[in-house]
C-alpha cells in the first residue's frame, strides 16, 4: 500500500461507507480506514492504482453516486492526481494516470449534459416535431434560437447541424400535426440564403446610387485575400478613435463592401461566406499569421 503522497486535497464530500453499507469491496472506501482527509486521499489513490483498467470508469461512477455535487468531487480527485503525478511516473503507471484524466473529463461532460436536460424546460408536446432517445426536435424552439443570432453563417451552420442530427437519429416519435423537421430546417436555410442574395443586390444598388452615377470597376487584390480582410477586421475590431471603431458599421455591410469592391488576383469574385468567416473574432486561424499580417496600427 502506498502511504506517502506529495500533496493532499481537501474533499468537501467524502464517499466512505461503514462496514454495514459495504457492497462493493473493489470500489468502496471504508470509514474505519479513513479517519481524516489525508487517509481518504491515500485510499483513493491506492484504489485507482490497484484497480484493473476496465474497472476504472465504474469506480468513478460508483463514487459519484455517493455525493451531492459529483462534478466538484471529480474536480478534487483530478487535482489530487495532478498534485501526485510523480507517484504514477515512479510506479510506471503514467498510462493509468492519463486514463483517469480521460475518464474524469468524460464523466464531467456526461454530468453536465444531464444537468442541462434537467434545467432546460421542455416545450409542450404540440410544439415538438419528433423525439428520439437522446433528444427532442422542436422547430419552434430552433426558430427562436436562429432569430436571436445575428450572423448569417452562424444561422445556416446551426440549422444544417440540426437537419443532419435529425436525419441521422433513430426517431421514436413523430408529431403528425407538424411539418417534417428536416424540411422546415431546409426551408429556413433557403430563406436565409435568399436574404443574403437580396442584401448583396441591394448593397450593390446602394453603392451605385452613392457613387452618383460614376462608373467603377472592382479592384484586384494581388495579396492573399485574408490579408485584405484582416485590414478591415483591424479597423473594425481592434483600432479605435475616440472610443469608437475606425470603421463603424454592420458586419454584413463590411462584407458587402469587400465583395462588391474587390476581386482576387485572377479577377474572380470573392465569396461572401468566406469573408464572413474571416471576419469572425473566433476564426483566428482563417486570418493571416502574425508574420504575414499587415499591421495597420504601425501605418496610422
| pLDDT, averaged across the chain | 87
End-to-end CA gap in the chain: 67
* pLDDT tens column, 235-268: 998 888 888 889 988 889 999 999 989 999 998 9
Same domain, 271 and 176: no
Tell me which of 147, 178, 210 is where a domain ends.
210
Same domain, 263 and 202: no
pTM recorded for the entire structure: 0.41
Residue 6 lies in a domain: no
Residue 178 backbone dihedrals phi, psi, to 5 degrees: -115, 150
* pLDDT tens column, 79-103: 999 998 888 876 667 888 899 999 9
* pLDDT tens column, 193-243: 998 888 877 777 666 666 555 667 899 999 999 999 999 999 998 888 888
Which pLDDT value is given to residue 159? Answer: 95
Total domain count, the chain: 3
* pLDDT tens column, 24-82: 888 999 988 888 999 999 999 999 988 998 999 999 999 998 898 999 999 999 999 99
Average pLDDT over residues 179-195: 94
Which pLDDT value is given to residue 1? Answer: 46
**Can you read off the three cell numbers belonging to residue 87?**
507517484
CB 48 within 8 A of CB 101: no
Pairing relation of β-strands 29-30 and 16-17? parallel
CB 40 within 8 A of CB 34: yes
Same domain, 184 and 229: no
**Residue 251: which domain range?**
219-298
Average pLDDT over residues 136-155: 91
Amino acid at each position: 500500500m502506498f502511504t506517502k503522497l506529495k500533496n493532499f486535497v481537501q474533499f468537501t464530500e467524502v464517499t466512505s461507507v461503514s462496514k454495514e453499507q459495504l457492497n462493493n469491496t473493489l470500489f468502496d472506501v471504508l470509514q474505519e480506514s479513513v479517519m481524516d482527509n489525508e487517509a481518504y486521499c491515500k485510499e483513493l489513490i491506492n484504489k485507482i492504482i490497484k484497480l484493473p483498467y476496465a474497472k476504472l470508469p465504474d469506480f468513478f461512477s460508483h463514487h459519484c453516486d455517493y455525493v451531492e455535487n459529483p462534478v466538484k468531487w471529480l474536480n478534487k480527485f483530478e487535482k489530487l492526481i495532478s498534485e501526485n503525478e510523480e507517484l504514477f511516473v515512479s510506479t510506471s503507471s503514467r498510462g493509468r494516470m492519463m486514463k483517469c484524466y480521460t475518464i474524469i473529463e468524460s464523466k464531467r461532460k456526461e454530468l453536465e449534459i444531464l444537468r442541462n436536460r434537467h434545467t432546460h424546460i421542455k416545450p409542450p408536446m404540440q410544439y415538438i416535431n419528433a423525439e428520439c432517445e437522446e433528444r427532442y426536435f422542436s422547430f419552434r424552439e430552433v426558430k427562436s434560437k436562429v432569430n436571436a443570432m445575428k450572423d448569417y453563417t452562424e444561422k445556416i451552420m446551426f440549422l444544417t447541424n440540426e437537419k443532419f442530427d435529425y436525419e441521422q437519429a433513430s426517431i421514436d416519435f413523430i408529431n403528425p400535426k407538424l411539418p417534417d423537421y428536416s424540411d422546415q430546417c431546409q426551408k429556413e436555410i433557403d430563406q436565409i440564403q435568399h436574404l443574403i442574395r437580396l442584401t448583396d443586390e441591394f448593397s450593390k444598388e446602394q453603392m451605385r446610387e452613392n457613387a452618383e452615377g460614376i462608373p467603377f470597376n472592382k479592384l484586384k487584390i494581388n495579396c492573399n485575400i485574408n490579408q485584405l480582410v484582416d485590414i478591415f477586421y483591424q479597423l473594425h475590431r481592434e483600432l479605435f478613435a475616440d472610443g469608437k471603431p475606425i470603421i463603424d458599421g454592420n458586419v454584413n455591410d463590411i462584407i458587402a463592401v469587400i465583395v462588391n469592391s474587390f476581386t482576387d488576383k485572377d479577377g474572380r469574385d470573392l465569396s461572401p461566406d468566406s469573408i464572413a468567416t474571416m471576419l469572425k473574432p473566433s476564426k483566428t486561424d482563417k486570418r493571416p499569421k502574425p508574420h504575414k499580417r499587415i499591421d495597420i496600427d504601425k501605418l496610422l
